[in-house]
Structure 1
Amino acid sequence: MEEILGTRQLARDTLVETAVRYAEDRHWEVVPGTSVQDTGLGRQCSCGHPACSAPGAHPLHRDWAAQAASGPAMIRRWWAEHPDAAILLPTGRVFEVIDVPEQAGCLALARLERLGLALGPVIATPTRRMQFFVLPGARDKMPDMLRRAGWGSSAIDLVCRGDGDYVVAPPSRMGASGTATWAREPTEANRWLPEARELISPIAYACGRAMAEA
């Protein structure tokens, strides 16, 4: 029992310290999300809705977009009140995210590496998605970029997350699936994010190939 409690405390410490590091090192705004709770009925979202569609993966506060902060004091206060809260990063401010299926994301990573293209951080979610960080402004241009790359906006499973949306950051726990992890961690080498147009052709190709194989 002491070992289990110690593991939980370590996870909580990791969440708050990681949230602070995102704010201080990357200047990313952070908001607290809900958490996954182990109950007698299994794992449930802390929001209290038994049929929650995104347990542990949605904002804790309704006005989360207005409350987003990059100040360590506020972040520590939030996690002192909700130590198991997921770390959510608003998109459309410092970065946007190209969100694709895991198989396509892995294919895209390999292709981008072969082409020698610069990459930003990449999240791998336990829901089998991969999320590529790019500079803001991509979402409005995405339909045109996909057409230029030879794909209709509805032809492939590719979503651009911008203003008004968010991603669940590692090491947050998401439902019964597991935790979000970094496929490409934030480092000094990828501090400067790429433009979406630099990556979209290889990523769209990978999405199309994965869809054809499926």
Structure 2
Amino acid sequence: MREILGRRRRLRFRRKARAARQDAAVTFAVEWDWPVLPGVGLEEPAPTTKSSGRTGLKTKSGARRAERSGGGDATERSGGAPELSGNAERSGGEGGPVCACPDPGCVVPGAHPFDPGLLAATTDERMIRWWWTRRPDAPIVLATGGRAPCAVSLPALAGARALRALDGMGMRLGPVVATPTRWSILVAPYDLERLGELLYAKDSVPSSLRFHGEGGYLLVPPSTAGTGQVRWERAPLTGSARPWLPDVEAVVDALVEASTAAPGGGSRLAY
């Protein structure tokens, strides 16, 4: 009886999470005019029995491709201990979720567009509801630039330092997206020429800083990627017609300084 109740609770939680993703995607697109699309997402690796009697791992999409091609498991070896596929290794071990894309070397598992591609991002409510009805677990990808926000992202530790510094200066901030490894500060749209002028004036810019501008994308809450849950560190104000965004000039100095002061001098590009 306890097991049945636990299963029911998990199903209710999953249905609630799926509804929250679709509602959030509709809010971004329809109320805020931010083009979005579903990300590739994650999947569980499918176990497969090898001809030698050992059991390895490969993704479900990989298994389907192997079946279509008539081939066996690409991770099979002639001897030694069983090996894991590249996706299983990235997930941290056997059984962990992996990227649903076909790239075994994907460096941003679950956190990027795939099918449809980024150019499909839209504000059309019917399209968005159709996408998330078909793929209710898909993460939400924001197409940055244009009429949507841009963003500057940096490692989580540096991000926390930057927010403290900006708060200490009395700087007004908009939404901030956080994952276990990176924080992203949403800013007003900027073009590459304007960004280039800002960065040219700096003595140096840490390579761990990432700029999400025109033609870029950013995973937004509530979503899940290979690095974990995507959440709001600073959530948009409830009931706001459209979130307020600072100019990139207002925050870039604090972000560069916080990244430079991070362990390793901000040179480590953590995904």
Q: 1 CA distance for matches of 2:29 and 2:116? A: 21
Q: What's the CA shift for 1:182?
A: 0.8
Q: Kindly, what percent of the aligned residue pairs are identical?
A: 34
Q: Are positions 1:194 and 2:200 aligned together?
A: no
Q: 1 CA distance for matches of 2:109 and 2:228? A: 11
Counterpart of 1:158, as a letter, is L
Q: What's the CA shift for 1:3?
A: 2.4
When residues 102 and 191 of structure 1 are mapped into structure 2, their CA distance, relative to the original with a 3 A threshold, is same
Q: Secondary structure of 1:21's match?
A: helix
Corresponding residue pairs, total: 209
Kept in 1, the 8 Å contact 2:150–2:190? The answer is yes
User: Match of 2:30?
Assistant: 24
- State the Cα deviation string for residues 55-88 of structure 1 (Å, max 9, x = none): 22111325331x2111221110001111111100
Please, what TM-score do these two structures have when normalized by structure 1? 0.87
Runs of 4+ in 1 over 6 A off after TM superposition: none
Kept in 2, the 8 Å contact 1:138–1:196? The answer is no
Q: What's the CA shift for 1:180?
A: 0.5
Greater Rg over alpha carbons, structure: 2
Q: 1 CA distance for matches of 2:108 and 2:208? A: 19
- State the Cα deviation string for residues 81-121 of structure 1 (Å, max 9, x = none): 11111100001122111111111111110111111112121
Q: Are positions 1:6 and 2:5 aligned together?
A: no
Q: What's the CA shift for 1:23?
A: 1.6
> Which residue of 228, 243, 256 maps to 1:178?
228
Q: 2 CA distance for matches of 1:156 and 1:49? A: 24
Q: For the aligned residues, what is the CA RMSD?
A: 2.2
Q: What's the CA shift for 1:2?
A: 2.4
Query: 1:63-74, aligned counterparts within 5 Å?
Result: 63-65=117-119, 67-74=120-127
Alignment gaps of 5+ in structure 2: 1-6, 47-56, 58-94, 267-271
User: Match of 1:109?
Assistant: 163
Query: 1:23-102, aligned counterparts within 5 Å?
Result: 23-40=29-46, 41=57, 42=95, 43-65=97-119, 67-93=120-146, 94-102=148-156
User: Match of 1:144?
Assistant: 197
Q: What's the CA shift for 1:27?
A: 1.6
Kept in 1, the 8 Å contact 2:32–2:242? The answer is no
Kept in 1, the 8 Å contact 2:32–2:241? The answer is no
Q: 1 CA distance for matches of 2:254 and 2:145? A: 22
Q: Are positions 1:163 and 2:217 aligned together?
A: no
Q: Secondary structure of 2:262's match?
A: helix
Q: Which has the higher helix share?
A: 1
Alignment gaps of 5+ in structure 1: none
Kept in 2, the 8 Å contact 1:96–1:138? The answer is no
Counterpart of 2:139, as a letter, is A
User: Match of 2:172?
Assistant: 118
Q: Secondary structure of 1:180's match?
A: strand
Counterpart of 2:38, as a letter, is P
